[in-house]
Amino acid sequence: MTDPATRIMQDPYPVTPFTCPAAAKVSVPGSKSITNRALLIAALADGKTTLANCLFSRDTEIMLDALATLGIAIDAHPSEKRITVTGCGGLIPNRNAKLNIGNSGTSARFLTAMLAICPDGEFELDGDEAMRKRPIQKLVDTLVELGCAIDTSNGFFPIRIHPSGLNGGTAVVDASESSQFVSALLMAAPYAKDALEITLSDATIRRGYINLTLKMMESFGIPPLNLHSSKETYQANPSPYLAPTSEYTIESDASAASYFIALPLAVGGTVEIEGVSKYSLQGDLAFTGIAEQAGADLEWTPQSLIVRTELEYKPVTSMSANFYAFSDTFLTAAAIAPLANGPTRITGIGHTRHQECDRIEAMASGLASLGQSVHETESSIEITPSLLNPATIETYEDHRVAMSFAILGSHDALGDGKPWLKIVDPLCCRKTFPDFFNTLESARQQSLQHAAI
């Protein structure tokens, strides 16, 4: 057998199917969303914060490099999944900097709002070609309304920030493209000159990650009474962050867990996912409901989630649903939809056309190349299962496209145990789950060993 560490270097990467039902225990990394929020808040806090179970990936490394460039003291230990941050108490040391944000949406939005709190300075933020296609104008408009001078490139990166402190007051935010605009403003709000009230131009936006942001702010010393939310508004009063007295543990990533929640639906059997909690703050854990709808049985333990299927008795059923509130996982459902016993229609995902790539188009193109009947609209995709054809999947540098289709490739579509699906640019998974393909291969090997007993 080829060593997984060697196989991952193949591009395109051939996914080896499971030839027996899954019988595996896996771990998923810490949440990217929580890691980058925690890094930014810890950098602003008064005191030293130790973060445990951190994700070390391309996106979090971009945030770490940016904070270091701004003069924040960082002590990172990747082998221990631990980072210690010495906060600046809201006074960013380096007031003149050029920051490379790659294609990290969280870094781009969070840092833009963070830098607006500075009383002076000049900052340039720029990323790769994909980031230069991701809009930032709506967040910029709000920050300008709050007193920050920002020059954009026709609403896109690169941008130049000339801060003079963040005014309080009321600001209207159009967060239809990303709820991260609201989270970015809320995380900066404790250092505004006055109370900040954010009025949503569209009250139907996804709230899961905003609620997560508020809970994290409370963990870093913001009194709950200083944070208010209603159907249409959020308000935060000035109150400095304080480093927690004990280490802050990053939750395991619910989005990453979705791939291994889906694996038993693709190959049958049982997968135990360590570190996933039923009481997670992450909205993407709602994918467990989709898995149950499709026919999986779930068992929660204090330390893990166990997912079981008996495909010989209970075939996969349609995963049709509105994925608006947990849209990062729509790709997982779309990828394994060819294995369902009927069409799957996924709605509420129009905003994903403006993420790492046009995710609806990417999934539609990949599924069509596999012989599936696909119909897409501006905000939905419908997949009607058909015979699967071997294909090479273009990933458009999008980690979620790669990981989702890898789960489908684990299904032994040809019945001979040979790879039939290949993934272009497998290393794009470094964005959030650097060890994904090794973890998937480990699950396959565990299953073979179990079958041989």
Q: Which residues are catalytic?
A: 328
Short-list 58, 46, 80, 130, CA closest to 359: 130
DSSP E strands in 44-183: the ranges are: 48-52, 73-77, 82-86, 96-102, 122-127, 149-153, 156-162, 169-173
Strands 122-127 and 82-86: unpaired
Q: What CA dihedral angle connects 371, 328, 343 and 322, to 10 degrees?
A: -150
Cα–Cα distance between 39 and 31 in angstroms, integer?
Answer: 12
Question: Please, what is the Cα angle at 24 between 8 and 404, to 5 degrees?
Answer: 50
C-beta of residue 340 within 8 angstroms of C-beta of residue 385: yes
C-beta of residue 286 within 8 angstroms of C-beta of residue 74: no
C-beta of residue 33 within 8 angstroms of C-beta of residue 41: no
Short-list 417, 395, 411, 361, CA closest to 13: 395
Cα–Cα distance between 208 and 172 in angstroms, integer?
Answer: 20
Cα–Cα distance between 106 and 120 in angstroms, integer?
Answer: 23
Cα–Cα distance between 259 and 210 in angstroms, integer?
Answer: 24
Taking the chain, what is the end-to-end CA distance rounded to the nearest angstrom? 19
Residues forming a β-bridge with 125: 99, 159
For the chain, the C-alpha Rg in angstroms (whole number) is: 22
Cα–Cα distance between 134 and 417 in angstroms, integer?
Answer: 40
Backbone φ, ψ for residue 223 (5° rounding)? -60, 135
Residues 6+ apart with CB under 8 A from 16: 410, 417, 418, 419, 441, 444
Short-list 358, 38, 53, 80, CA closest to 216: 38
